[in-house]
């Protein structure tokens, strides 16, 4: 089973998060001091040039014309997952497992993460690149994070987690951001069922998903087609989506209770309007937070 795409996707997402470094502190959706420094040197140089005053606005405007709301969607989903994680930590969370960790920096920038055991899971090449960059940025790898390089086509992530010290009797938050659209329906189903059957009571998962209409073409804006083509050329075609109306029964069948399903309108109301941010958000991708059913644990 394959859970994550190529390293390029993780780097591109991290590059998008860099834009918050150039927003006034009081208006930021989140603080990610590692968004730029964790990226390879070549990416850092390009981004520093791209985000120079004047040029930054031109490039962001161009992106908005070509991919309306895509920037806002990535930034807002980052804030939402941050909030879920912070609430979980405050409630006594004991473990965090991040599928498709890429250049996710939550383990290093969110207070309290050093009090839980964090498992970052990705393809071996992605994990090796992440560790190399972390070694340069942090000086040494933190002891509370375990890095798991996994060939998902030939290895069980459940077995790999346990071998790495994962405790199924401890409350865990599973984070699965920007991944499900690249997986087969069978892979998503298997992952959710495995999480639900192997996690302790009080555990939960937060994940993103795209609307099924974007995949089957029934509600696909014209500008989205080039993204599908690019993803396919990179070897990670988008093949999975869900209808929001189907989400709750879908999760219940797989051992979860849906707690929240949020999208563009929620992000505008919760985050952007209070900050006075004028930012378009594409509603084709949503985020779901679901608790493991007691009977499934």
pTM over cut 0.85: yes
Give the mean pLDDT of the chain: 92
d(CA 103, CA 206): 17
d(CA 297, CA 288): 19
Using one digit for the tens of pLDDT, what is the confidence trace for 69-109? 999 999 999 999 999 999 999 999 999 999 999 899 999 99
What pLDDT, in 10s, does the model give residues 102-138? Answer: 899 999 999 999 999 999 999 898 899 999 999 999 9
Selection from 45, 89, 19 nearest residue 279 by Cα: 19
Q: Which residues, 6 or more positions from 233, have their beta carbon under 8 angstroms from its beta carbon?
A: none
Residue 6: pLDDT band with limits 50, 70, 90? very low
Q: What are 163-213's pLDDT values in tens digits?
A: 999 999 999 999 999 999 988 999 899 999 999 999 999 999 999 999 999
Percent of the chain residues topping a pLDDT of 70: 95
* Model confidence at 150: pLDDT above 90: no
Domains of the chain, each with CATH number or no CATH: 7-296 (3.40.50.150)
Q: Say if residue 1 is exposed, middle or buried (CB neighbours under 10 Å; 0-12, 13-18, 19+).
A: middle
Region 213-217: what's the mean pLDDT? Answer: 96
The terminus-to-terminus CA distance of the chain in angstroms comes to 22
């Amino acid at each position: 089973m394959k859970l994550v795409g190529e390293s390029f996707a993780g780097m591109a997402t991290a590059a998008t998060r860099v834009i918050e470094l150039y927003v006034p502190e009081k208006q930021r959706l989140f603080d990610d001091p590692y968004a730029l420094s964790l990226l390879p040197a070549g990416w850092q140089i390009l981004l520093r040039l791209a985000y120079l005053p004047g040029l930054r606005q031109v490039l962001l405007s161009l992106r908005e014309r070509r991919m309306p709301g895509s920037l806002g969607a990535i930034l807002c989903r980052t804030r939402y997952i941050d909030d879920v994680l912070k609430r979980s930590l405050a409630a006594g969370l004991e473990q965090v497992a991040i599928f498709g960790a890429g250049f996710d920096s939550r383990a290093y920038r969110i207070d309290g993460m050093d009090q839980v055991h964090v498992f970052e899971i990705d393809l071996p090449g992605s994990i090796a690149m992440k560790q190399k960059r972390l070694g340069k940025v942090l000086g040494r790898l933190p002891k509370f994070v375990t890095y798991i390089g996994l060939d998902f086509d030939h290895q069980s992530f459940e077995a790999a987690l346990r071998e790495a010290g994962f405790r199924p009797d401890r409350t865990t938050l599973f984070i699965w951001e920007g991944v499900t659209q690249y997986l087969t329906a069978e892979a998503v189903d298997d992952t959710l069922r495995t999480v639900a059957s192997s996690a302790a009571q009080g555990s939960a998962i937060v994940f993103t998903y795209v609307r099924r209409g974007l995949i089957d073409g029934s509600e696909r804006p014209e500008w989205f087609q080039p993204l599908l083509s690019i993803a396919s050329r990179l070897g990670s075609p988008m093949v999975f989506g869900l209808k929001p109306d189907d989400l709750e029964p879908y999760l219940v069948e797989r051992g979860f209770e849906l707690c929240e399903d949020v999208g563009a309108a929620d992000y505008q109301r919760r985050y952007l309007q209070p900050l006075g941010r004028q930012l378009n958000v594409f509603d084709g991708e949503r985020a779901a937070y679901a608790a493991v059913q007691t009977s499934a644990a």
